[in-house]
Amino acid sequence: MPELPEIVVISKQMNETIVKKKIEEVAIYQSKCLNRPEDDYARHLVGQKIKKVVSLGKWVDIHLERGDHLYISLGMGGELLYFRSASTIPSNVKFFVRFTDQSGFYITLSWFGYFHLVLKGETNPMTDRLGQDALEMTLEDFQNKLKGRSGSIKAFLMNQKNIRGIGNFYIQEILFQARIHPLKKIDCLSEDDIVMLFEAMQSVLEEAVDKGSSFYEVDFFGQKGDYTLELLSFAYKEGAKCPVCGTETEKIKTGSSSQFVCPTCQPI
């Protein structure tokens, strides 16, 4: 699933490529992903120009010239890709937008996803409830978010209502760099723990953005990023040794997901 770095990269590329282009055609082949009647999309989008594209955690937010928004979540395995000619659109697309110059973008999905058209003055519950962007937070913002909280730190960080953009891929490296166990309770974190966690969050996500996002996702032009497994300390590497202490890592269950940890460097 694309996380914050992937969406930041895609949004930047879209800004550089499709801003000021006028929509000529909208096609939808997966109506269950919509938030309104299918006919509304062509009726409200055709004739509008793209004003700008913004990343909202795991969502792409396309601003249109009349004040409307098209929110896109790619779910699991989805791709948002640019095309120069409609003749190159594959058969498995769920949604495409074509501009008057015949270029455009299409979306493929393998497991859920959303295409929400929100008109000027309307609200969108799925994006309105998102927390602050992980890379836009200050240390003070982060400290305030954690005050009075309970529960595990991993669950907190991955809850998009608290902080938007972090998923199971990047969280493993963030927690290892901070030397914090994913199941550690928030109210057991020291001030130093919180500072280290904030710095690790910023460092890991910024590095992934700089490298064009992760190796397993593609950008707006179909290219994979350079943030590879080699840059991770040990996550997703069965039988790996901790690079700090040499202890064999463990794969543990953390709610509905799993995670690699070093039992020595990340004591619960």
Residue 238, pLDDT score:
79
pTM comes to 0.94
Residue 70, pLDDT score:
97
Average pLDDT of the chain, as a whole number: 95
Residue 87, pLDDT score:
87
Buried b (16+ CB within 10 A) or exposed e, 75-102: beebbbbbbeebeebeeebbbbbbbeee
Split at pLDDT 50, 70, 90, the class of 239 is confident
Query: What is the percent of the chain where pLDDT is above 90?
Result: 87
Q: Is the dihedral of CA 198, 199, 204, 205 positive or negative?
A: positive
Tens-digit pLDDT profile for residues 50-62: 999 999 999 999 9
Tens-digit pLDDT profile for residues 190-229: 999 999 999 999 999 999 999 999 999 999 999 999 999 9
**Tokens at residue 50, please?**
């793209």
Q: What is the set of domains in the chain, with CATH numbers?
A: 4-128 (3.20.190.10), 132-261 (1.10.8.50)
Check whether 255 has a pLDDT greater than 90. Answer: no
Mean pLDDT of 80-85: 96
DSSP-derived pairing of the beta strands 95-99 and 257-261: unpaired
Mean pLDDT of 239-248: 93
Dist CA 213 CA 246 (whole Å): 28
Dist CA 4 CA 56 (whole Å): 8
AA letter at 16? E
Residue 76, pLDDT score:
82
Maximum distance among all Cα pairs of the chain, rounded to whole angstroms: 60
Q: Rounded to 5 degrees, what are φ and ψ at 143? A: -60, -40
Report which of 125, 95, 109, 243 is spatially closest to residue 173, judged by C-alpha positions: 243
